Amino acid sequence: DIQLTQSPSFLSASVGDRVTITCRASQGISSYLAWYQQKPGKAPKLLIYAASTLQSGVPSRFSGSGSGTEFTLTISSLQPEDFATYYCQQLNSYPRTFGGGTKVEIK
């Protein structure tokens, strides 16, 4: 199985901050990576797919980059509604796997 390691696992930030979350794969997965946002008690919401393609309706302050084994999700200016947990997922091979999550909290 491909392991995905997210860092940090916890992040404290202020509104307006630039935030970067990293996802590292245990082996190369090209650009077969997606990012999701999950708020408490809610289903995950797709933000980014194919490593850098923004899902329709997702604000442009979210962006994704990377290829191979290292990927990043960046929020250019953190908004109050962005406080949530973020997960990466690889769809390069089976079984599909998720990173452990990064919880973004208000400083």
Partner 1 sequence: QVQLQESGPGLVKPSGTLSLTCAVSGGSISSSNWWSWVRQPPGKGLEWIGEIYHSGSTNYNPSLKSRVTISVDKSKNQFSLKLSSVTAADTAVYYCARVNKLVTMVQGVINYYYYMDVWGKGTTVTVSS
**Residue given tokens 């990012």 in the structure block:** 35
Rank residues 16 and 40 by Cβ distance to partner 1 and give the closer one: 40
Q: Which stretch binds partner 1 (CB under 8 A): 14-22, 48-56, 63-71, 72-80?
A: 48-56
Rank residues 44 and 61 by Cβ distance to partner 1 and give the closer one: 44
Burial of 87 (0-12, 13-18, 19+ CB in 10 A): buried
CA–CA distance, 100 with 98 (Å, rounded to integer): 6
For the CB of residue 32, give the shortest distance to partner 1 in the complex, in Å: 6
Binding of partner 1 by 99 (CB under 8 A): yes
Binding of partner 1 by 40 (CB under 8 A): no
Binding of partner 1 by 2 (CB under 8 A): no
Residues that bind partner 1 (CB under 8 A): 1, 31-32, 34, 36, 42-46, 49-50, 53, 55, 87, 89, 91, 94-101
